[in-house]
Amino acid sequence: MTDKHAVDPSETIPIRRDEDFDHSNLVEYLRGKLPDSERSLEVVQFAGGHANLTYLLRYGETEYVLRRPPLGPVAPSSHDMGREYRCLSVLYKGYPLAPRAFLFCEDPAVIGAPFFVMERRRGIVVRRTIPAEWGGGNDPAVNRRISEVLIDALADLHAVEPRSVGLETIGKPDGFLQRQIDGWYGRFERARTKDMPIAGEMRAWLSDNLPPSPKPTLLHNDWRLDNMMLAADDPGRCVAVFDWDMCTLGDPFADLGTLLSAWIEAKEAPPGSTPAAVGMPSNTPGFMTRAEAVEHYGKRHGIDVSNVPYYYVFGLFKIAVVLQQIYYRFHAGQTQDERFRNFEQSAEMLFWRAKEASQTLSL
């Protein structure tokens, strides 16, 4: 008989030494609050992700997922578990790809930080490479389907009426884009580990060239391929979208810009050489180009996409700051995860890519 927990043995790992916590506290807190939580609890860690920490909770055959912020100090508006719980406790009603959240604990005494528990979804998360069972990146038809579902799921999110799921007050759309620019630059300043004038230069360019925003929608705010889970038997079907801690109301093109910032094309990096800090195999044969993806989104969502090249610049700027924040935690000794050692260099590279993109305003 096949063990249901052995579908993907690389999906989970023993908990990293510095990311463990007192399991007995968690057992006592959860007992009676979830179905089967009276049984013995096994905890392992999901291997993926660069920021928030995610754990698999097993009560025999019943499984849940626990999410908590990363180690060390975090920005006040970042890694907000309460916000993510608020979103996921209701969004599933109008957007089935959002896993349902069951409970939120704001008491750091339980595991060392606020956390929430949500349902477990099953499928495949595509990271730096296309899985071998889907052609390993050599099947253009499969690669095309993956790129299409990546855009379709985003367009479907932006079509959800916020009031219909009780999220009409989760953000402030007025002035959203300027606040994003200022907020991300502020985060960079707090995480800066060396002089990087290009960051301030790009902040000024983004403010000076601010376009009018379209009608506000619900935003994921970190839309990437590795935040999606695809059906194991169908790479063209999404079964879940994760990482909703920055969910808000605002300019839908901000989501598109974030995604495009990770969209490396074959002319920029040959297949099989996807940069580790980007982690999206969009340079494989058949995968849509950035321009094709934007056109597909425009048709799918029924919206003019002529201003999207600006948001590509914004996306590069934003992800550069995210990488710098992650590097800062490594630099300050708040995490020993060696994956983050070169993220300062990657952040600076993305700021320069943003400048290059701003000079052409093309995809």
Q: What is the pLDDT of residue 275?
A: 64
Q: What is the DSSP code string of 180-229?
A: HHHHHHHHHHHH--S--HHHHHHHHHHHHTPPPP-S-EEE-SS--GGGEE
Which pLDDT tens digit goes with each residue over 184-214?
A: 999 999 999 999 999 999 999 999 999 999 9
* Contacts of residue 346, Cβ cutoff 8 Å, sequence gap at least 6: 275, 276, 277, 278, 320, 323
The token duo for 163 is: 């009031």
- Residue spans of the domains in the chain: they are 4-119, 132-360
Which pLDDT tens digit goes with each residue over 222-236?
A: 999 999 999 999 999
The token duo for 93 is: 């009603």
Least confident of 4-18, 150-164, 349-363: 4-18
Q: Which CATH superfamily is domain 132-360 in?
A: Aminoglycoside phosphotransferase (APH), C-terminal lobe (3.90.1200.10)
DSSP 14: S
Mean pLDDT of the chain: 92
CA dihedral 182, 188, 194, 199 (to 10 degrees): -40
Helix (H) or strand (E) holding 86: helix 81-88
Which pLDDT tens digit goes with each residue over 129-146?
A: 999 999 999 999 999 999
Q: Quick check: 7 pLDDT over 70?
A: no
**4-119 in CATH: which number?**
3.30.200.20
Least confident of 13-27, 242-256, 285-299: 13-27
Q: Are 230 and 126 in contact (CB under 8 A)?
A: yes
CA–CA separation, 236 and 122 (whole Å): 15
Which pLDDT tens digit goes with each residue over 9-37?
A: 458 888 888 889 999 999 999 999 999 99
Confidence of residue 3 (pLDDT cuts 50, 70, 90): very low
